[in-house]
Chain A
C-alpha cells in the first residue's frame, strides 16, 4: 500500500501524536494558527503567496513544488522562503531523491535552482565557501507535511522559549531545538521522509567518510573531475526515519529585530555501530 497523500488528511485529527495533551489537532488547524510574526517572518496572504510563486517559480524549483500544496500551506511556505533561512530549498519535497543523493555524496547544493549550475562543493548563498552537509541529507517529501511540521515546531513550548531570547547583533542565537518527529507529525510522520546517508569509510576504527568527501571535492577541482573514487551513499527510506528528530536552528531575521528559523531538517536515528 502506498503512502497516503498528506493532502488527504488535512482535516482529520491527529489523535496519536506523542506528548500533545488536549484536543486532537488537525493539520489544517495547525496551518491556520500560524502567525508568521511569531517566527520572525513577514505575513503572506494566499493571494500574495500565489503571486510570489508565479513571479519567481522560474529557476526556483521548490516554488513549483509548493504550488501543489494546500492554500494554507502555500502561505506558510512562501513566508518561510521570503525569510532568511534555507529550510525549504534544501529539505522540502521540491528537492528530489537524486538531489539528496548528490548533496550527500558530492556536496551539490539543491538551493541552486538550475541543474546546470550545480557543481560539487558550490554553495547557493556563499560564493567561495564549500557547501556544507553532514553525513545525511534528508527531506520531508510533501509540502503540506513540511508546512505542518514547521508550524507545529515553531509553536512548541521549547521553540517559543527560544524565540523569546533577546535578539541583536553580537548576541548568541538560541540553541538549536530538537523535537521528536512523532510529536510534530504523529506516529506515521516518518512515512513522509526520505533522503540519503554518506556510506561510511572506516580507517583505524573511525568513520572518515566526510573527510574523504572533502578530499574528493578538492581533488575534483584540481584535476578536472578528479582521480579519487567518488563518495558513495546509502538510500534512506521512510522506515529509516522511525524515531527521528526534527532540528530547528535559529538566526537573526532580515530586520535584525528577532530570531527566525535558519533551517529545519529531519535527523534520522544513527545506524547501529556495527553497520556503520
Chain B
C-alpha cells in the first residue's frame, strides 16, 4: 500500500497542509472542490484547521526543502514544474491580497 505522509504522520509538520491539499486540490477533484477551499479559508474562523493550513503553507514556501520528497505530488498530482511553483500558485489563488512569502535562506 502506498502511504500518504499525512496519514502515516498525522501530527508531523506539514501533515495538515498535505491533508487539506489532498482533500481539495488533488487532480481528480480540483475543479469541483477548489472554490470550496477558497470559501473555507475566507471563513477560516469556522474551522481552526485552516489557520494551521495557512501557517504550514507559508512555511513550505519559505523553506521548500523541508517538505518530504514526493509527498506534495502524491497528495495533489499537480501539473506545475515543482513543489515551489504549485505552492506559490496556491498562495496567490487563496490569499490574493497578501504578498507571497519570501524564500528564507537555510
Binding site for B on A (CB under 8 A): 86, 90, 123, 125-126, 129, 131-135, 169-176, 178, 180, 206, 208, 210-211, 213-214, 243, 245, 247, 249-252, 262-263, 265, 267, 269-270
Contact = CB atoms under 8 A, between A and B. Distances in A.
A169 B46 CA distance: 10
The residue in B7, B32, B39 that gathers the most chain A C-beta atoms within 10 A of its C-beta is: B32
Nearest to A212: B79
B27 A132 contact: yes
Contacts, number: 88
A251 B2 CA distance: 23
B80 interface: yes
A250 B22 CA distance: 11
A172 B28 contact: no
Given A135-B77, A245-B2, A129 B23 contact: no
A244 B20 CA distance: 22
A29 to B, nearest CB: 26
Contact of A134 (B4, B27, B39): B27
Contacts of A208: 81
A249 B29 contact: yes
B11 interface: no
Contacts of A134: 26-28, 77
B40 interface: yes
Contact of A133 (B2, B27, B33, B40): B27
Interface residues on B, range: 20 to 34
25 contacts: A90-B28, A126-B32, A132-B28, A134-B27, A135-B77, A169-B39, A171-B46, A172-B23, A172-B50, A173-B33, A175-B22, A175-B23, A176-B23, A176-B26, A180-B1, A208-B81, A249-B23, A249-B28, A249-B29, A249-B33, A252-B36, A263-B28, A265-B28, A267-B2, A269-B2
A186 to B, nearest CB: 16
B2 A270 contact: yes
A172 B47 contact: yes
Contact of B1 (A90, A123, A175, A243): A243
B90 to A, nearest CB: 14
Contacts of B79: 210-211, 213-214
B91 interface: no
Contact of B29 (A129, A170, A178, A263): A263
A216 B82 CA distance: 17
B77 to A, nearest CB: 3
Contacts of A247: 28
B58 interface: no
Contacts of A133: 27-28, 77
Nearest to B76: A134
A218 to B, nearest CB: 11
B54 to A, nearest CB: 13
Contact of A211 (B24, B30, B80): B80
Contacts of A270: 2
Contacts of A125: 31-32
A131 B28 CA distance: 9
Contacts of B24: 173
A37 B83 CA distance: 39
7 smallest CB-CB distances across A and B, nearest first, come from: A134-B77, A214-B79, A132-B27, A170-B43, A126-B31, A134-B27, A210-B79
